[in-house]
Amino acid sequence: MNVLEFSLVLWLGSFAAGGLGALTGLGGGVVIVPLLVTLGVDIRYAIGAALVSVIATSSGAAAAYLKEGYTNLRVGMVLEIATTIGALTGAYLGSRVFPTSAIAVIFGLVLFASAYLQMRPQPHSPPTARAERLADWHLADWLRLDSTYPTPEGPKSYGVQRVPLGFGIMYLAGILSGLFGIGSGAVKVLALDQAMRLPFKVSTTTSNFMIGVTAAASAGLYLRRGYIDPGIAMPVTLGVLPGALLGSMMLGRARVRVLRALFAIVIVALAAQMIYNAVTGRV
């Protein structure tokens, strides 16, 4: 295909990725990396473009979610410390240590695990669960992380639990972001939803807020090493941003069960595609 056709395909794919990323908290990179690899782009340049798109996804959706009252800003700011340090670690490992085929296989396995865990939701404990608070040294109380989120019946309160566990998982999420250029939204949503027991819509919106900062930490290193090509990154970013805005407008009317199923189906398909590409030597 010529340059115009290639750019149009990138724009359309990125528009869909932006909407999906905003709805599920995955970030557009989880779709864009496999898309670019399938189109014949080297995986390191695909990761570079995906990191730029993740920043755009976060910028497009986070402001709307924050205004609507879904995003837990305090949780996001606390956990960004871990993800930023992890992103710098992952970017170093991705550009210096791992071959591209190994990165693709690990990426696929991480996505499979994320889908499996997401389809086994745990019941949320009450906000006053004393045992959890004692185990965490009352960090959620000290940091004032508990909050509310909008529902059709009015604001509903929730409690944040197992803060140290969430912090550790977020460090691993940052490493994955630096390695794969995905914003690590899949792992962030799992940490917020399953480990820290936030409501699913709060988890996805807070993940969207966080992924931009995490991706920015990794993107600087990829830019320095020449892995961000403007000819690829520009149509991707121009597609992701309106897609993310559309997805943010749809979230309030979406059902949690549908979002969970969509989350799992998409990342299973992408995981299979990435592993197939690695095994057949396409990356």
pLDDT tens-digit profile, the chain (283 residues): 788 888 898 899 889 887 877 776 666 666 787 788 878 888 788 888 888 887 877 776 677 778 888 889 899 889 989 988 887 888 777 666 656 677 778 777 877 876 776 666 555 444 444 555 555 656 778 888 888 898 888 889 988 888 888 889 889 888 877 776 565 666 787 788 878 888 888 888 888 788 777 777 778 777 888 888 988 988 988 888 888 778 777 876 777 677 767 777 877 877 787 788 778 776 6
Both tokens of 66, joined, read 């924050």
Rounded CA gap, 61 and 245, in Å? Answer: 6
Q: Count the Cβ atoms, other than its own, within 10 Å of residue 166.
A: 28
% helix, strand, coil for the chain, step of 5: 75, 0, 25
The SS3 assignment for 158 reads: strand
- If you average pLDDT over every residue of the chain, what do you get? 78
Under a CB-based contact definition with an 8 Å cutoff, are residues 65 and 209 in contact? Answer: yes
The SS3 assignment for 244 reads: helix
The SS3 assignment for 11 reads: helix
